[in-house]
Amino acid sequence: MDSIQNNLVAVLNEQLSCAQAMLSTLARENQALVEGDPELLNAASADKAKLVETLEALEAERRSLTAAIETTLTSTEETGSEPKWHSLLQLIAACKQQNQRNGALVKARTEQVRMALKLLRGSEAEFYDPSGLTPSSRSARSLGSA
């Protein structure tokens, strides 16, 4: 029983370390987005993908260990991993929040690019087709013909 608990604490420690690395990677990703640095963005994205895989594997291991402990514990016993678990939940919430901010920044940059392309292409008068819709292909010229 003690070895399972020790393994659970070790896995939680690894998850905490990995989640902290993820938060740092998300900060690097944010910096790359703000600065418009594609090399830094690619590196951060690759690191983020690896960390996600690691976190998923650790979570599967944690669930397995937790299930093993739950079958052997009585309702009054504790594993001693609760403080680490709460710390991990807080860190994961911070990662989620940073990832959402990065997503909003990506969305804003995408909109800026879309507007710049629209400006470069110029605007033509929009006509309605027989169904009453404006065809988007008529207003889009290739940049080479602008």
Amino acid at 13: N
pTM (two decimals): 0.71
Q: What is the pLDDT of residue 132?
A: 66
Q: Is pLDDT at 55 greater than 70 in this prediction?
A: yes
Confidence label for 94 from pLDDT (cuts 50, 70 and 90): very high
CB 29 within 8 A of CB 51: no
Q: Is pLDDT at 138 greater than 70 in this prediction?
A: no
Structural domains of the chain, ranges and CATH numbers in brackets: 2-145 (1.20.58)
Amino acid at 81: S
Mean pLDDT calculated for residue range 21-25: 96
Confidence label for 98 from pLDDT (cuts 50, 70 and 90): very high
